């Protein structure tokens, strides 16, 4: 499988959240200046939504009817936007801290958001207990709270199963929990931990860092893939091993992981399964190595293809037909022009060839 970039359009600030129509023709971007934009990929025409977040806009999802977009931000708010008028419909204060990531159930009924601040809870610098639920689920039609789940903060990633029945969430300490959305007891139906996504700083600064920054259920619903960065001695360097692991989530058992020699170093934060279920993509930012975007075989986990996009990919989505991919990007700071910085955000499209 080969990826080739076909389109790229600039946005004023780095893009942290991405949603798109099934064909990838219309893309929605949540940006670090708190704004949310609609971008027509064929022409590059951009329109800003009326409501903005007071801090980073960290995520956005498009409901299946294509009429409503929901965004999340570091201000802890979820905002419902009318796609046609670009005006706000509803606002919900979901968290007292940041919304790290959000996810939409495939049936469009639920939106999940995860939060949590890393504060030392003891002399070993283990995370302190949460001050609010780490995971919350809302009804997309009414904005009503559906469920709140406990998880050790910070909770960095979440994903719904293909049947919309289960929600998985991963945290900084490499722990994944899975809940049955229809259950009323709020207890996880599965959970497991791995040390391969967490670092303890041994130089310069002593604290935990890292975590599972991306999660995705396989199309058949039987496995979960998580991505992030492997352990490193200096948490400020950002040069841990690019890594992913795949688990049988019901058993909490590791099935596979990235192969030795097929990775560089850097933080991986984007995961996407190809619609045919035979491949998955992982992307992020590169510290050392030859790639920051790669495709892997679902059959044996081997590296199929890779590329160096020369920038940080924060999200990736395959089109419904599997022939294209859309991505959100944060570039380097660039040069200061009179009165403003150069644009740091990008949305991109890629062709996908067998």
What pTM value is reported for the model? 0.96
CB burial of residue 193 (10 Å; 0-12, 13-18, 19+): middle
Whole-number pLDDT of residue 339? 65
318 CB-near residues (< 8 Å, 6+ apart): 272, 273, 274, 275, 281, 324, 325, 352
Tokens found for residue 345: 């955000």
CA angle 282, 283, 288 (to 5 degrees): 120
Residue 205 has pLDDT above 90, yes or no: no
Query: Could you report the per-residue pLDDT of 101-135, keeping only the tens digit for each?
Result: 999 999 999 999 999 999 999 998 999 999 999 99
Rounded mean pLDDT of 307-327? Answer: 97
- Is residue 343 helix, strand or coil? coil
Could you give the domains of the chain?
2-353 (2.130.10.10)
Whole-number pLDDT of residue 337? 65
Beta-carbon count within 10 A of 304 CB: 15
Whose tokens are 């302190």? That residue is 128
Please tell me the distance from the alpha carbon of residue 243 to that of residue 265, in angstroms, as a whole number.
8
Whole-number pLDDT of residue 332? 79
Cα–Cα distance list, 73 to 23, 32, 61, 96 (Å): 26, 9, 12, 11
């Amino acid at each position: 499988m080969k990826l080739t970039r076909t389109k790229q359009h600039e946005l004023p600030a780095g893009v942290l959240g991405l949603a798109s129509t099934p064909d990838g023709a219309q893309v929605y971007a949540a940006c670090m200046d708190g704004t949310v934009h609609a971008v027509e990929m064929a022409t590059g025409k951009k329109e800003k939504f009326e409501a903005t977040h007071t801090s980073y806009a960290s995520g956005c999802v498009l409901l299946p009817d294509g009429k409503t977009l929901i965004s999340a931000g570091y201000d802890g708010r979820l905002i419902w936007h009318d796609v046609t008028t670009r005006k706000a419909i509803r606002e919900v204060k979901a968290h007292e801290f940041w919304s790290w990531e959000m996810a939409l159930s495939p049936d469009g009924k639920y939106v999940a958001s995860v939060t949590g601040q890393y504060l030392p809870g003891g002399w070993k610098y283990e995370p302190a207990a949460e001050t609010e639920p780490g995971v919350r689920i809302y009804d997309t039609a009414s904005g009503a709270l559906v469920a709140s789940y406990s998880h050790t903060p910070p909770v960095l990633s979440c994903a719904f199963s293909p049947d919309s029945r289960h929600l998985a969430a991963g945290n900084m300490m490499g722990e994944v929990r899975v809940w049955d959305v229809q259950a009323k007891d709020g207890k996880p139906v599965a959970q497991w931990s791995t040390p391969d996504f967490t670092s303890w700083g041994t130089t310069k600064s002593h604290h935990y860092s890292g975590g599972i920054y991306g999660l995705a259920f396989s199309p058949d619903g039987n496995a979960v893939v998580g991505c992030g960065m492997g352990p490193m001695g200096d948490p400020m360097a950002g040069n841990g091993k690019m890594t992913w692991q795949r688990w049988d989530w019901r058993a909490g058992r590791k099935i596979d992981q990235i192969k030795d020699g097929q990775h560089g170093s850097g933080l991986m934060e984007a995961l996407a399964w190809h619609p045919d279920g035979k491949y998955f993509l992982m992307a992020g930012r590169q510290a050392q190595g030859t790639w920051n975007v790669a495709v892997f075989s679902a059959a044996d986990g081997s590296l199929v293809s890779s590329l160096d996009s020369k920038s940080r990919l924060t999200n990736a989505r395959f089109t419904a037909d599997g022939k294209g991919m859309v991505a959100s990007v944060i570039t380097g700071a660039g040069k200061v022009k009179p009165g403003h910085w150069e644009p740091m955000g990008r949305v991109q499209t890629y062709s996908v060839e067998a």
